[in-house]
Amino acid sequence: MPPLKYFEVECSDPVGGEAYKRIAADVLQDLDLLKVFEKLHIFVDPKVPIFVAAGVIRHLPRRVRVRDFAGINVQEGKAVLDIGDETYLAPLLTSLWAKFGKENVDQPDRFTVVLPEELFAQGEIEDMVVADPSVSIYQDVIYAMQYIAPEGFKVRRQHVGGTKFYYVASEDTLPEDVVETLVADTFARMGESL
């Protein structure tokens, strides 16, 4: 696992800053997120009070498509999906039921799914996305930031998209222009822009 390229905690109280750096490192390690982050900068000022975390996520896993775990054979008026890996079978069935209706999706065994040929477009099914692991990574990142942020900082603004995220928390109202300025400054400290 490569270490973070950049990891800093900035705090008006140096002792508190070191404590937050340890807390952040422990939470990220406990949640197995150290390998997810490339850069992370946390700014804490208990006097304001404000907590800002901004970061860059390393490499997001790609979406899982039907062609990644199943072969498709068209035979005798039907399309047979041969499942090579059951990991994504449940989300595949959910997607197929939503698209074609349960009555048109047959599963004779756990490694086979059959569709009527007239409903089937091979390229369309092969490219169908059945799982997006980045969604759970985004959720885990925000979950980690909620743990790292000071207790009682319940007013929050958060954004995760692409490979960048931010999480801002306070006890007080967070005006949009203040959040934008703080987030932009935090990204700039890492040599990044939002």
Question: What are the structural domain ranges in the chain?
Answer: 6-61+133-189, 64-131
**Per-residue pLDDT tens for 47-59?**
889 999 999 998 7
Cα separation, 50 vs 168, whole angstroms: 7
Judge whether residue 123 has pLDDT over 70: no
User: What Rg, from alpha-carbon coordinates, does the chain have?
Assistant: 23
- pTM for this structure? 0.74
Alpha-carbon gap, residue 112 to 1, rounded angstroms: 37
d(CA 111, CA 151): 48
Q: What percent of the chain has pLDDT over 70?
A: 97
- In whole angstroms, what is the distance from residue 33 CA to residue 13 CA? 26
What's the confidence (pLDDT) of residue 4?
A: 83
Whether pLDDT at 25 is above 90? yes
DSSP state of 46: T
How far is Cα 133 from Cα 129, in angstroms, rounded to an integer?
Answer: 11
> What is the reported pLDDT for 1?
44
Name the nearest CA neighbour of 72 among 125, 108, 129, 128.
125
